[in-house]
């Protein structure tokens, strides 16, 4: 407890306030007298080093020395854990509102005033409960709050990511935008979709339009088979029953592109891309055959679309299939607007949650610090508990001077007035340093 963080204590930002919780033994005097001596020590000769306010510590149960030693080791970790949750809520609120944490309140009052007027919440944390039980109550509540925060974050993150994906989809290039958002019904109604033919769309770089129009009917020249029985050498056998059919007929003897020549039409342009339509042969059947039992076995169907897409991709053309929906759902714009409303609703709920839970979490954090001070003070000063706990609101850039003033007050063994130094390695009194964001 006498070893603050490197650099002179917790990190302090322009919008934060530094606080010390300190305890001093009363040594036969009253708490009022001890508090007066603290205030006199930090007066700073007309320029106060800090503002002090007393915290009334309830009659907490001491327990055994072993239990106190065990709690002393654990309380530092629990303190950091709850502080982490406080910071998460502060950051979340700041990100959602674009404001600093100054507008966050602890039960309708600013954090600085709450600390100045702090009193133990007997209803939430009955002081006559054993200390481990009180600590467990605080940690259990904080675990519930953190889990609730995770659930809010997951819902908000999912809505935000889905919204961003749709916005990229709508605002993207022609390879990503939904075709029904680009093409009007009067265009798609002219698309071909028969047993043998279908219309596909092709995204073409503007710089390659001329090359595309000149060569699209040659893309994938090895895909479609146009060969049939070879009767050129024996024209009289044409139509006569022979073995020149089915698997004995080499269809790929003559191959070509499935793209129908003269079918390309320019549909739209966006950025450095153009969208064309063209008609493709859907596919073909391989030759069938008659099996040993005399039953005809049809050949397999070969789809041309995927092969044509791969061949076009080699030339930097992107083939996209258009599927007309019988009962089209909401448009991408409608989905975006719906997700925007959903995300805004989640953000508003999260903002209200931060406002309501911040007070609960920060209050629990301060109660935990009071317990920590109580445990350390009993271990340091002995029984029965007779000490004064004060919260010092440290003035900016006065940390070193305040440490020296407090050392002089308790006649520190390791820091004499002649040294005039406070290297922060040890203190003869209990001291916990922390910061409150937005409480400057």
Beta strands, E only, 130-225: 197-205, 224-225
In this predicted model, what pLDDT tens digit does every residue of 92-131 receive, in sequence order?
Answer: 999 998 876 667 899 889 999 999 999 999 999 999 999 9
Confirm if 23 and 428 have CB atoms less than 8 A apart: no
| Angle (nearest 5°) at CA 16 between 13 and 17 | 125
- The mean pLDDT value of the chain amounts to 85
329: left (phi over 0), alpha (psi -120 to 50) or beta: beta
The CA distance from 422 to 45, in Å, is 19
Q: What is the CA radius of gyration of the chain?
A: 40
Weakly modelled stretches of the chain, pLDDT under 50: 2-8, 14, 412-420
Nearest in space to 275 (alpha carbons), one of 166, 184, 192, 198: 184
Confirm if 431 and 9 have CB atoms less than 8 A apart: no
49: left (phi over 0), alpha (psi -120 to 50) or beta: alpha
337: left (phi over 0), alpha (psi -120 to 50) or beta: alpha
Cβ-Cβ contacts under 8 Å for 404 (sequence gap 6 or more):
415, 420, 421, 422
The CA distance from 237 to 230, in Å, is 10
The CA distance from 159 to 341, in Å, is 10
Residue with tokens 């979709």: 193
Cβ-Cβ contacts under 8 Å for 297 (sequence gap 6 or more):
288, 289, 290, 291
| 430 token code pair | 């209990």
Burial of 127 (0-12, 13-18, 19+ CB in 10 A): middle
Q: What is the largest CA-CA distance in the chain?
A: 131
The CA distance from 162 to 165, in Å, is 5
| 318 token code pair | 């992107």
The CA distance from 217 to 279, in Å, is 10
| Angle (nearest 5°) at CA 395 between 390 and 400 | 85
Give the H/E segment covering residue 277: strand 273-281
Confirm if 392 and 42 have CB atoms less than 8 A apart: yes
The CA distance from 66 to 64, in Å, is 5
The dihedral sign for the CA sequence 96, 99, 101, 107: negative
CA dihedral of residues 275, 277, 278, 283 (deg, nearest 10):
100
Angle between helices 65-97 and 131-171 (to 10 degrees): 20
Partnered with residue 259 across adjacent β-strands are 280
Would you say how long the chain is, in residues?
440
In this predicted model, what pLDDT tens digit does every residue of 320-358 receive, in sequence order?
Answer: 998 877 666 677 778 888 889 999 999 999 999 999 999
Confirm if 280 and 260 have CB atoms less than 8 A apart: yes
Nearest in space to 114 (alpha carbons), one of 432, 366, 434, 430: 366
Per-residue pLDDT at 427: 65
Per-residue pLDDT at 248: 56
Per-residue pLDDT at 15: 59
Tell how far CA 379 is from the center of its chain: 43
């Amino acid at each position: 407890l006498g070893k603050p963080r490197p650099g002179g204590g917790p990190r302090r930002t322009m919008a934060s306030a530094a606080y010390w919780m300190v305890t001093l033994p009363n040594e036969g005097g009253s708490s009022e007298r001890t508090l007066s001596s603290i205030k006199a020590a930090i007066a700073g000769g007309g320029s106060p080093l800090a503002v002090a306010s007393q915290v009334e510590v309830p009659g907490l149960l001491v327990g055994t020395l072993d239990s106190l030693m065990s709690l002393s080791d654990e309380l530092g970790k629990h303190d950091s854990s709850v502080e982490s949750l406080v910071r998460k809520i502060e950051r979340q609120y700041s990100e959602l509102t674009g404001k600093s944490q100054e507008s966050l309140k602890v039960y309708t009052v600013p954090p600085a005033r709450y600390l100045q007027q702090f009193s133990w919440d007997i209803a939430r944390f009955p002081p006559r409960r054993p200390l481990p039980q009180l600590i467990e109550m605080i940690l259990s509540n904080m675990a519930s709050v953190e889990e609730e925060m995770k659930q809010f974050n997951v819902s908000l993150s999912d809505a935000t990511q889905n919204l961003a994906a749709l916005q990229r989809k709508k605002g993207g290039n022609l390879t990503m935008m939904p075709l029904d958002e680009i093409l009007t019904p009067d265009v798609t109604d002219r698309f071909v979709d028969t047993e043998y033919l279908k219309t596909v769309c092709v995204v073409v770089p503007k710089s390659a339009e001329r090359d595309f129009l000149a060569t699209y009917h040659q893309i994938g020249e090895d895909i479609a088979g146009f060969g049939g029985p070879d009767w050129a050498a024996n024209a009289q056998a044409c139509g006569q029953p022979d073995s020149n059919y089915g698997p004995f007929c080499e269809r790929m003897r003559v191959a070509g592109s499935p793209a129908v020549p003269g079918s390309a039409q320019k549909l739209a342009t966006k950025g450095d891309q153009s969208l064309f339509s063209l008609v493709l042969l859907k596919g073909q059947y391989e030759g069938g055959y008659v099996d040993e039992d005399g039953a005809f076995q049809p050949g397999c169907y070969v789809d041309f679309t995927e092969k044509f897409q791969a061949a076009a991709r080699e030339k930097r053309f992107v083939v996209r299939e258009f599927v007309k929906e019988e009962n089209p759902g909401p448009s991408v714009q409608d989905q975006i607007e719906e997700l925007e409303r959903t995300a805004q609703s989640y953000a508003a709920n999260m903002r209200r949650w931060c406002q309501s839970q911040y007070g609960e979490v920060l209050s629990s954090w301060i109660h935990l610090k009071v317990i920590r001070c109580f445990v350390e003070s009993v271990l340091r000063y002995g029984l029965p508990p007779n000490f004064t706990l004060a919260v010092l609101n440290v003035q900016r850039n006065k940390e070193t001077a305040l440490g020296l003033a407090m050392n002089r007050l308790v006649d520190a063994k390791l820091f004499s007035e002649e040294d005039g130094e406070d290297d922060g390695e040890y203190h003869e009194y209990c001291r916990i340093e922390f910061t409150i964001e937005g409480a400057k």
